Amino acid sequence: MKYLKSIVILMGLLIFFATSTIIYIVFDRLFSKQTLIFPKKDELQKLQLSENSEIINANISDDKLILTIKLNQNYQIIIYDLKSGKQLYFFETN
C-alpha cells in the first residue's frame, strides 16, 4: 500500500506537469509575436521568369522561398526572402 500511494502521487505529478507543458506550448504558439508579413503582389511580380522556364521545385523554409527552375538544359536556384520581399541569392548551373 505504501508503494501504491507513492506511485499514484508520482503519476498525478506527471499528469499535472504534462498538461501544464501542453497548455504552455499551445498558448506560446497562439500568442507568439513572430509573424510572417508577405510582400505585396507587385513586389512578388518582380520575380520574372521566362516563358520557356519550368518551376521544378518550390519550398518555403522559415521566411524564405526557394525556387528550382529549369530553362532548356540549365537549372536556376533562386532564394527569395518573404519578409522583405527581395531576392537574396541566385545560382545558375549547367
For the whole model, what pTM was predicted? 0.48
The residue behind cell 512578388 is 44
For 70-78, the CB contacts below 8 A with 24+ separation are 78/47
Question: Could you tell me the end-to-end alpha-carbon distance of the chain, in angstroms, rounded to an integer?
Answer: 75
Confirm if 67 and 82 have CB atoms less than 8 A apart: no
Give how far the C-alpha of residue 79 lies from the chain's centroid of Cα atoms, to the nearest Å.
Answer: 14
Domain segments of the chain: what residues?
A: 1-34, 37-94
DSSP H or E segment with residue 35: none
pLDDT tens by residue, the chain, 94 residues: 789 999 999 999 999 999 999 999 988 888 776 665 665 655 555 666 778 888 888 888 878 888 888 888 888 888 888 777 777 888 888 7
